[in-house]
Amino acid sequence: MTSRIALVTGASAGIGASCAAALSAAGHRVALMARGESALQTVAATLPGQTLVVPGDVTSRDSVEATFAQVEQHWGPVEVLVHCAGSGASKPLVDTSDDQWQQMLDLNLTAPFRCLRRALPGMTSAGFGRIVVVASVVAKRGESRVAAYTASKHGALGLVRAAAAEVARTGVTVNAVCPGYVDTPMTESTISAIASRKDISHEQARELLGCRQPIGRLVTPDEVADAVMLCVGSGAITGQGINVDGGAVQS
């Protein structure tokens, strides 16, 4: 595949770091965005290809603009955008505050919207682009105690599908990858919460969470990156929400 200019948000750990590694191994130049510069530098040091560390906050409109501008200044327009930045919060719906609700929307829905809005003009002008948003399996189903997170991820999938329909004839594809429970630092916090709530050990909570998926284990970040790279490599996959959830949601 032709070497492209890629930007990965949320690249400092977990799925984002695995996607950056997969893109770099495939020969692409990879710009890494997250809030922590030190963690980004650590990831960059492990990649085989050209990298650009661009610390920034995806929830800040100015920071998103500055990140894209910096990539353009160094290499040129972003051709592959992999948006991995995101987070979850667990609370019963009736205990979810307005601030917690807004935080989930800002990070999981407004941030990808702004990144897509910034990336698409350059891609459509060039006649090539690949956008992949890492959503969640709860973009396709409801789940208790995560109403704000679930709503934001449903919105992200809708955003992807609307964008894909708009640019379908331009050479740009827009997809979502929808992981289940993945072995990442974010999931570790979920495991800790389960252990505390059920008064069981951390390892028992991890096993319990893994058993919620038909494969009986947590998905690995590299397995999510495999699905992302499938979307990056194909011009015929667009408007999709590809599940990487061990068979939990068959759609």
Contact 120, 238 (CB under 8 A): no
Counting every residue written for the chain, the total comes to 251
Catalytic residue among 8, 40, 130, 149: 149
How many angstroms separate the CA atoms of 24 and 241, rounded? Answer: 24
DSSP letters, 184-226, are SHHHHHHHHHHHHHHT--HHHHHHHHHTTSTTSSPBPHHHHHH
Confirm whether 149 is a catalytic residue. yes
Contact 122, 77 (CB under 8 A): yes
How many angstroms separate the CA atoms of 183 and 186, rounded? Answer: 8
Contact 33, 7 (CB under 8 A): yes
Which positions are annotated as active-site residues?
149
